[in-house]
Structure 1
Amino acid sequence: MQSPSAKTPPVAPSRWLNGTYWLLAMVAAMAVATSTALWWTVRETQSLARPYQQSDPWYVSSVHSELARVSLLARKLQTGEASAHELQNGVDVLLGTLDQPHQIGMRLREEPPQPAAELKELLRHTAQWSSRLDRPDADARAVATDIIGRSDALLDSSRKAVAAAYLSNTQETGHARQQLHDRFTVLSAVLGGLLAGTALLIWKLVHDARSASAASRQLAQANRQLEVRVANRTRKIEEGRALLSFILDTSPSDVVLAEVQSGRVHFINRKLTERLGLKAPPQTLFLQQLLNDPQTRQRFMQALDQYGQVDAMEALIGGRNPSWSSLSARLIEVDGQLAHLLWGFDISTHKALEAQLRELATQDPLSGLLNRRAFMERGTALFDHCRRHAQPCAVLMIDIDHFKRINDLHGHQAGDDAIRACAQAIGQVLRDADLLGRLGGEEFAALLPHSSTGSAMVIAERIRGAIARMDIESAPGHPMAFTVSIGAAEMAPQHPGIEHLLAEADRALYRAKATGRDKVLAYEPGIRQS
């Protein structure tokens, strides 16, 4: 199957995004420039539409008209067709029209300056005429004569001012129209750039949308292929898990996988379920529940928590009928949770054989007591313990009297019965802390911790008496009796080990046999064997 990446062309989303961002920034800049140019153009258009743009021609024309009217009234006053009052009103109207210098535009005041100066001269004369007419003794005819004498020159000057105002206004309007045309040209260029940028942005967005759609289709196809591969892989994993579960379930070993915190069991095989005495696999199981011995449980869990693994640790598992198993464990992670993986092998048979071998190695098969090797090992440890803690310690050497005669008269079976009976009688007299063993043949040894020579002699006398009172049926109607001789010795500072103490007790035993048997004697320094 071809991988999805082999069919998908290289895609650079970041490059697409960068190009789109640059186009958006360009269109935004063009939009800002268009708004600025539009505002600039509208402002210029509004300035052209204001009334004061025509104020200079109107003002000069009004002054010319009022001056002509005043001149006509002055002539009518001379002919008697108008009154002085009418003349005064006409002069006042002319004065009111002239007394508005702020109405004159900058071009009329500066280029050319003569019309403005002539208007100021007219204003001066008009103010004089108004002042003369306002006097109580005003001579209206004299004022009219003065007006008529000056009117022709003043009217000629006002006509020139009107022409200059109209010319100046025409020039200013033409200049403003040229500026407006230039601004409309700039606005058109900016709008054209905006339209071009918008068209390019739309094309880019459409192209990106098509590319994204194609990439989406390819991604969907890749996802479908991936889903198929995941499904196949999942099926294979499930088949592998099923096979592994079958193998582990039929395995002779014990296997369990359980979470550490919740104890939820992910897997437990049938072998371990049966060993735990359960009819069905448990839902929860903590590893501590499997281990029977508290000390072993503590060591096992400490090692597992510290090192994350335990290998081949022997432990008893199970509750009612625990059995020995060689356990190994690992601390692993399953579904995001820590879990214990435990597996083990049943070593109950091995342990039983080991116990038998240990028993054979340490126990005398005839009497059931410790053999010589085991007695010497444990006796040495007990002897060292008493010496280390400055406690008294004594030993008894016990030997059956005339044992060869018993074998000769009653047979070797009777001799074996005598050894077993002697071992049983000695064991019934001794304490639990005492150590008893068969050193060989008909000879026994007992180690009595925390006992002096006196207390050891008392115990030895009880042993001798108990054995002397026994009757053993060696054959029907033929009871058999026998006695023992016992030698006692107490631990002293000069004893380097238990062997020397046993040797002294053996000397006391030899002396007891030599002096008549069936007696108990203690070791006495200085007495030599005869």
Structure 2
Amino acid sequence: MSPAAAALVATQVAVLLLTLASAALAVRTALQSRHDQRRAMLAGLGAIVLLVNAAIVGIDAIAASPGSGWLALVRLVPQAALPLVILLQLRSLHRRDGQARAAARDAPFNHATGLPNHPLLLRQIIPALARCRRDAAPAMFLVASIDGLDDLRAHRGPGQAAEMLRSLAGSIGDTTRAGDLSGHVEPDVLGTLLPAATEEAAERVAARLRALSSERMIDPEMSGQRMTISVGVAMVGDGAEPAALEEAISSALTALRGAMADGGDRIRLAPTPPGRQAGVSA
């Protein structure tokens, strides 16, 4: 085989590998987008076109004759361009997904529940906590999340997961008082400040929330079972309000994750925070 023919075959093999890798990425995108019919169809069509292109490139490489170098090289240009174009389109889709997630995270309110996201929630809570400090009243922070929500989203789609979150938000509204402040601590975790509430009172709220949520949230898999939630509860300690809130949220999240790791459908209390003077960190 002449050096020119060997270089042509090597280029064809490289294009073939690029096309197959692009087809695999398109198939993966189609599977991940199965709950978005339009995107899944476009990604699946792209995968089919790429596989056909790979077959043509492979046939050209096998059937190449010593005198077909220029013809094969001309045919190789669009064959190499096709996977690059589809890769750019897939990259654009993933970039738009990332931008949408960032926009949802930075938005003042969560689009699924209508509750404040973390930054706005903190701004709403701090004045309420300051009133508790002024009245020498305790405050508790409660966080709740749906057990198995990630699996539900993977099997039933983001729409079903959003519906379950709306149900949880409604249950929180029905089990808390008018002065309690609720919002998203994380996209899938709802939190509530319970001003002037003791640990025992917070446990009662958590128990009511757990029972009501289980009653309302029917498993969308139609298995006859109910969805469950896990709850973490933490006391808001002394010190500057923003730092004390973040500490309580972090402690409640740690308790929540421990409850979920133990199988879910349970309530866990965080350890009592260390005492400190207002405005002075421990």
- Determine the C-alpha separation between the residues in 2 that align with 1:452 and 1:405: 35
Alpha-carbon distance, 1:506 to partner: 1.4
Match of residue 489 from structure 1: 234
Could you report, residue by residue, the CA deviation over 1:463-503 in whole angstroms, capped at 9, with x for unpaired residues? Answer: 0111111244848x677731111111112335742111111
State the match for 2:211 in structure 1: 465
SS in 2 for 1:517: coil
Structure 2: give runs of 5+ residues left out of the alignment.
1-105, 274-282
Equivalent pairs counted in the alignment come to: 166
Point out which structure has higher relative CO (alpha carbons under 8 A, 6+ apart): 2
**1:449 matched to which residue of 2?**
195
The residue that corresponds to 1:517 in the other structure is: 264
Identical counterparts, % of pairs = 25
SS of residue in 2 equivalent to 1:459: helix
Amino acid at match of 2:234: A
Rounded to whole Å, the distance in 2 between the matches of 1:485 and 1:437 is 16
What is the 5 A alignment of 1:431-442?
431-442=177-188
For residues 473 and 524 of structure 1, the distance between their equivalents in structure 2, rounded to whole angstroms, comes to: 33
Contact 2:235 2:272 in 1 (8 A): no
Deviation string for 1:8-38 (max 9, x for gaps)?
xxxxxxxxxxxxxxxxxxxxxxxxxxxxxxx
Equivalences for residues 201-350 of structure 1 within 5 A: none
Alignment partner, residue 153 of structure 2: 407
Match in the other structure for 1:384: 130
Q: Deviations over 1:139-180 (max 9, x none)?
A: xxxxxxxxxxxxxxxxxxxxxxxxxxxxxxxxxxxxxxxxxx
8 Å contact from structure 2 (residues 230, 267) kept in 1: yes
Q: Hey, what does 2:249 align to over in structure 1?
A: 502
1:365 partner amino acid: H
Q: Compared with structure 1, are the counterparts of its residues 468 and 413 closer, same or farther at alpha carbon in structure 2 (3 Å cutoff)? A: same
Q: Secondary structure at the match of 1:364?
A: coil
Contact 2:149 2:161 in 1 (8 A): yes
Gaps of 5+ in 1: 1-359
> Can you list the C-alpha shifts for 1:404-460, whole angstroms capped at 9, x where unaligned?
111122222111111111111111111110001022321110000010111001001
Please give the alpha-carbon distance, in whole angstroms, between the structure 1 residues aligned to 2:259 and 2:124. Answer: 27
Q: Distance in 2 between matches of 1:491 and 1:438?
A: 17
SS of residue paired to 1:420 = helix
Please give the TM-score of this superposition, normalised by the length of structure 2: 0.54
2:137 corresponds to which letter in structure 1? Q
SS of equivalent to 1:487: strand
Alignment of 1:124-135 (within 5 A): none
Distance 2:196 2:251 in 1: 18
- Asked whether the 8 Å contact 2:219–2:227 carries over to 1, the reply is no
| Alpha-carbon distance, 1:525 to partner | 4.8
Give the TM-score normalised by the residue count of structure 1: 0.30
* Partner-residue secondary structure (3-state), 2:216: coil
Distance 1:479 1:377 in 2: 41
Name 1:371's counterpart in structure 2: 117
Letter in 2 for 1:508: A
One-letter amino acid of the counterpart of residue 132, structure 2: C
Per the alignment, residue 260 of structure 1 pairs with: none
**2-structure distance, mates of 1:428, 1:489:** 21
Instruction: Tell which structure's C-alpha radius of gyration is larger.
Output: 1
Cα distance, 1:368 vs structure 2:
1.2
Correspondence for 1:49: none
1:398 equivalenced with 2:131 (yes/no): no
For residues 252 and 171 of structure 2, the distance between their equivalents in structure 1, rounded to whole angstroms, comes to 20
RMSD: 2.3
CA shift digits 1:353-372 (9 cap, x unpaired): xxxxxxx9532221011121
Q: Is residue 258–residue 268 contact of structure 2 (8 Å, CA) maintained in 1?
A: yes
